[in-house]
């Protein structure tokens, strides 16, 4: 399982990197954390002629505050984001999702943006970003552009990034007061991709009524998807047990999964419903704790 040959490039600044991508387009792949790319190379499922290693690009490692929230640049390692107390305070969903991603040995190298750019339909971070309403910033020789998360994931392993572009950073806004999050996943083993996963970002009024609800599910479609019908069922109501059960059923009705070696479609459908219920229950538990 040795990779095919490639020409390795280690650009020192963003302009150089983007020029390389412009020159080689389809025949180039970006190397950041490499935790998704290297296995593909080793299996020869990908044989790009050029590898553009962006690890030497300056100023792309540290997550930073912006006016409305956080900017996570291309080289921010998953482990760094996971263990940042500030990020956990402002956007807890990220840490909740990240601890489910593989194992620390992978997260030490893997980048948040890398996982998003890879776009695996079963991955945790894409679903989390969808629930957060994140904004991706994509850069190419022609310039930079913003892509809302709703337009970013197009198919399993396919995103809005063009061959001559790279994902420069992702922006997540601070959560409004009274917002609680949960990431629920069921995986075969500790650290595996979830058979399905639900990321929930739920705003609750003092009365307990849901003011906002974003539910993103992974593992039931070629991209993470919003459970818009389930969300509509919930918004404006209090998350009592009966409503939570109804939300679970609504999720089952809303999704159209397919089966694979890990699970059949019927199981995935049922699981998505169960995970929605668990996410909503966790949200209500957190809400009750903060109101004590």
Q: Which residues lie near another protein (CB under 8 A)?
A: 1-8, 10, 31, 34-35, 38-39, 41-44, 51, 53, 55, 79, 102-106, 108-109, 186, 188-193, 195, 261-264, 266-267, 270-271, 274
Closer by beta carbon to another protein, 35 or else 181:
35
Per the listing, tokens 């599910």 go with: 217
19 or 270: CB nearest another protein: 270
Smallest gap from residue 142 Cβ to another protein (A): 28
Least separation in angstroms between residue 194's CB and another protein is 11
CB of 21 to another protein, least distance (A): 18
CB of 7 to another protein, least distance (A): 6
Q: Which is nearer to another protein, 188 or 290 (CB)?
A: 188
Q: How far is the CB of 57 from another protein (least distance, A)?
A: 14
Closer to another protein at the Cβ: 8 or 155? 8
Closest CA to 152 of 164, 137, 140: 137
The distance of Cα 115 from the centroid of its chain, to the nearest Å, equals 7
169 Cβ neighbours under 8 A, 6+ residues apart: 60, 71, 72, 73, 74, 113, 136, 137
Contacts of 78 (CB under 8 A, 6+ apart): 33, 98, 101, 106, 107, 108, 110, 111, 112, 115, 125
Classify residue 257 by its DSSP letter.
-
Which residue reads 């957190």 in tokens? Answer: 286
- Closer by beta carbon to another protein, 238 or else 266: 266
């Amino acid at each position: 399982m040795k990779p095919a040959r490639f020409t390795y490039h280690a650009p020192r600044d963003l302009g150089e990197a983007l020029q390389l991508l412009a020159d080689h387009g389809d025949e180039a792949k970006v190397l950041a954390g490499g935790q998704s790319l290297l296995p593909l190379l080793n299996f020869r499922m990908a044989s790009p002629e050029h590898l553009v290693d962006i690890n030497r690009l300056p100023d792309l490692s540290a997550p930073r505050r912006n006016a409305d929230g956080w900017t996570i640049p291309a080289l921010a390692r998953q482990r760094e984001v996971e263990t940042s107390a500030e990020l956990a305070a402002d956007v807890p969903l990220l840490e909740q999702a990240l601890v489910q991603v593989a194992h620390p040995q992978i997260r030490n190298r893997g980048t948040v943006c890398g996982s998003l750019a890879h776009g695996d339909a079963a991955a945790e971070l894409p679903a989390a970003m969808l629930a957060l309403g994140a904004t991706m910033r994509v850069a190419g020789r022609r310039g930079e552009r913003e892509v809302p998360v709703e337009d970013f994931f197009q198919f399993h392993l396919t995103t809005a990034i063009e061959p001559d572009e790279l994902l420069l950073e992702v922006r997540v806004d601070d959560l409004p007061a009274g917002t609680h999050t949960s990431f629920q996943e069921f995986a075969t083993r500790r650290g595996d991709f979830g058979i399905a996963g639900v990321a929930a970002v739920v705003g609750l009024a003092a009365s307990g009524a849901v003011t906002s609800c974003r539910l993103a599910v992974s593992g039931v479609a070629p991209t993470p998807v919003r459970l818009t019908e389930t969300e509509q069922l919930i918004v404006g109501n209090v998350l009592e047990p009966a409503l939570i059960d109804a939300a679970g059923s609504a999720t089952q009705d809303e999704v159209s999964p397919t089966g694979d070696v890990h699970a059949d479609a019927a199981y995935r459908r049922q699981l998505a419903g169960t995970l929605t219920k668990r996410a909503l229950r966790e949200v209500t538990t957190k809400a009750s704790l903060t109101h004590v």
